[in-house]
Structure formats: structure tokens, C-alpha cells
Amino acid sequence: MDLYDINALQVSKLTTKNYSTSFSMGVALLKKDLRLPIYAIYGFVRVADEIVDTFHGHNKQALLEAFKKETFEAIERRLSTNPILHSFQWVVNEYKIDHELIHAFLDSMEMDLTEKNHDPSSFSKYVFGSAEAVGLMCLKVFYKDDDQAYESLVYPARKLGEAFQKINFLRDIHADYTERGRFYFPGLNLQNLNNEVKSEIERDIQHDFDEALAGIKKLNKASKLGVLVSYTYYMKLFKKIRNADAGQVFNSRYRISDFRKLMILISLWIKCKLGIC
């Protein structure tokens, strides 16, 4: 790597740390040579998400189209003057990430500009692109030269991304609806989303978590602890949401405190050091 490559990757790392302490903690527990590639993926995802969620007063569709065009130009050229895209093209080319995963992610971002309510088909497409595809990009980093292991873990990786995204939908349900006019769960709205329906969604999420955990247990040592920390953070958040009344969830944004996150991290680190994680 030359200095520009290193600088670009450091920008992605800083972006990750500024936007997500939870994700940053998980990445810090990966084997050292996996960290920068994962930061590169997250930085890319974060910028695309910012375009559709926060660049108000601008033509978001045009900005997203330009970002998409610049992304694939950077990948083909193996260079970009945008540090986030330069670091992303590096990880795509270095780890041979399937371009279809990138297209799926960007398509889901475009759906946020056009789809305000989902049917089962559009919901599945959105969740795959916005979460599962990103998880598969990370999985490719974890198993750079082992296609057989990668393929064996595709299903649980997808289930983990699905669980994370559905919890995000529940956590952000009020803001998504009132600030962005979005409601992700198909066939529902704030008026008919009661405790019974909430419980049904939660049973679905628990199934996703159960399927994901089977895969996490099979991860290599280089990646297991970092993924397990993220899984545990989300499980704790899920339990808080599950124990709350539907009305509370609609009007609150639940989170895990930084102190609690640190305690989880330390506990899991000790268990893994003792060989029991």
C-alpha cells in the first residue's frame, strides 16, 4: 500500500468510529489484518445511507446516482479521489467481492427514496440489499481464499443481517415514520402495530438470531469474537425492545449504554480467551 491507500482507509476508519461506537468496538476485536477492510465497507455503506437519510434540501436521487456511477468507476479504475470510494474499491478488488452485492445494496438505498410502504417482495429485497448483502461482503473478507467455507456460512450470515435490520426497524420505527414517511414491515402501519403483531415480528427475529448463532459458532478465530460482540449487543437491545409495550417502542428509541457495551465486550473477550465462546 502507498500513502494514499493508507490515508483513504484511515478516513473510512474515522468515519466508522464517528458514526458507530458499537460497530467500531466489534471491528477492534477482529484480527488486525481484517479491520481496515471492514472499515472500508462500513464507510461506503455509511455515506450512501447519509445521502438518502440526511442530505435534505438536495436532489438525493441525483446524488445517489452520481455516487453509484463513481463507485463502479473507482472499482474499474482502481482509484478514486474520494477517499471513501478509494478504500472501498480497494477492498472490492483485493477480496473479489461480488459486484451483485454492491448493486443490491445501492438498489436498497434507492428504494428508500421511492418506497415508503413495503409489500413482502419489496421488504425481502430491501432487507437483502441493505443488510444481508453487507454482511456477505464482510464474510468475503473473513474468508478471502476459502470459497467453500464462505459458501457454507452464507445462510447464517444472511440471517444475522436480517435480524440486525429488523431490530433497527423496530428501534427507529417512530423516526422513520414521522421524519421520513417510511414504514418497513409489510402490510402494517403505526395504527395496527399492537403487542400481538409486535410479538409475531419478534418471534421471526428470534428465529433469525437462532439460525445466525449456529453460523457464528463456526466462524474462524480471526473473526468470531468481533461478530459475537455485535450479535450480543443486538441481542441485549432486542431483549429491551421485546420487554417493552408496543406503545413504548413507538415513542422511544432504545439503546445499550456505552458502559454496558464495554462490560459485554470484556466478558466475551475473557470467555474467548478461556476457549468457551
pLDDT confidence of residue 52: 94
Of 165, 167, 174, 78, residue with least CA distance to 124: 165
Instruction: Judge contact between 35 and 14, C-beta under 8 A.
Output: no
Instruction: Concatenate the DSSP letters of all residues of 209-244 into one string.
Output: HHHHHHHHTTS-HHHHHHHHHHHHHHHHHHHHHHTS
The reply to whether CATH 1.10.600.10 applies to domain 3-273 is yes
Please report, in tens digits, the pLDDT of each residue of the chain (277 residues total).
799 999 999 999 999 999 988 888 889 999 999 999 999 999 999 999 999 999 999 999 999 999 999 999 999 999 999 999 999 999 999 999 999 999 999 999 999 999 888 899 999 999 999 999 999 999 999 999 999 999 999 999 999 999 999 999 999 888 888 788 888 888 776 677 789 888 999 999 999 999 999 999 999 999 999 999 999 999 999 999 999 998 888 888 888 888 898 899 899 989 888 888 8
The owner of cell 477480496 is 95
Q: What pLDDT shows up at residue 255? A: 87
Domains of the chain by residue range? 3-273
Residue 210 identity (one-letter amino acid): D
List the one residue out of 39, 45, 46 whose CA is nearest residue 6: 39
CA dihedral over 239, 240, 243, 247, signed as positive or negative: negative
Handedness of CA 81, 83, 88, 94 (dihedral sign): positive
Of 103, 99, 134, give the one whose Cα is nearest residue 20.
Answer: 134
Distance set, CA 151 to CA 15, 31, 61, 148, 215 (Å): 30, 21, 34, 5, 11
pLDDT recorded at residue 277? 81
Q: What was the pLDDT predicted at 63?
A: 98
Total Cβ atoms within 10 A of residue 222? 15
